[in-house]
Structure 1
């Protein structure tokens, strides 16, 4: 299923919704099409890629602590690329293993392919001689919504 990006009236990204939800937003006239698929339509509407809200929605809460940690968030932040070898990643690896007190935090987890995750096992990247290709960071709302 395709997802449609919802942006605020000032073009700041908010979240993604299904195509059906986006069409309902257009019918209720709370949003308008900002970007659409060429030569594709649903009913009387072009197939939207991005919809823009008509009125600005205050989202102060989004700028506070940032998004809560999640496995899907780690994979999205790392663009499903393994932090050790660069291949397609399907698992999340703890830089400091959980058995040694590592926690589920943005800075302690990276996306990893199954092979690298198994190879690293219960060791740190230095102990396993598997250096990280990038330093894990806490993402912003915009970083996750822009996917």
Structure 2
């Protein structure tokens, strides 16, 4: 289903939502269409015509509690690593701790990477130095406005780029 970017009244990105939910917010006059779909698609009913939105903005400000760190979830970690194994570059299906938890490694952004199943099994509870392996990219804490989005697709609509830039945060 098509996703729509939802902005706060201050144009701060909040989340993505389904086209159905976005249209309901617009029709109930709780949100305004900021950017229409680039293909010029239109929704029609017996009495109304509505351009398909790509970005909508709430009319009233919604206070969102500030988070100092982005929560570490499987989905967010996979997105950060672009669903690629940190060791070989193949498609990743699992999460691996660079310093194994059995050896005192923490469950943090800096110690977790996406991994394919073969590499994860080969590595087991060993350190990279023991295997002679190296990480393709050092794991870091993600930052930026798009990481605060709940359920947002990083590869979403290219029309969202101006609203997800660092200056929009």
TM-score range, shorter chain: 0.7 to 0.9
Counterpart of 2:106 (choices 92, 103, 107) is 103
> 2:51 matched to 1:50?
no
- For the Cα contact (< 8 Å) 2:13–2:146, is it kept in 1? no
TM-score by length of 2: 0.72
Cα shift at 1:113: 2.0
Q: 1:2 to 1:134 in 2, by over 3 A?
A: same
Task: Show structure 2 runs of 5+ residues with no match.
Answer: 155-169
Corresponding residue number in structure 1 for 2:25:
25
User: Cα gap change, 1:125/1:31 in structure 2, threshold over 3 Å: closer, same or farther?
Assistant: farther
| Number of residue equivalences | 145
In the aligned structure 2, how far is the partner of 1:124 from the partner of 1:100?
9
Q: TM-score, normalised by structure 1?
A: 0.81
| Structure 1 residue 109: Cα displacement | 0.7
CA spacing shift, 1:134–1:46, aligned 2, 3 Å: same
Stretch of structure 1 that moved more, 43-52 or 110-119: 43-52
**Equivalent residues in 2 for 1:1-147 (5 A)?**
1-37=1-37, 38-43=39-44, 44-59=49-64, 61-62=65-66, 64-140=67-143, 142-144=145-147, 145=149, 147=154
Q: How far apart in 1 are the matches of 2:4 and 2:14? A: 11
Q: CA RMSD in A?
A: 2.2
Return closer, same or farther for 1:108/1:42 CA change in 2, 3 Å cut-off: farther
Q: Hey, which of these two has a bigger chunk of strand by percent?
A: 1
Structure 1: state its 5+ residue gaps. none
1-side partners of 2:128 and 2:50: how far apart? 51
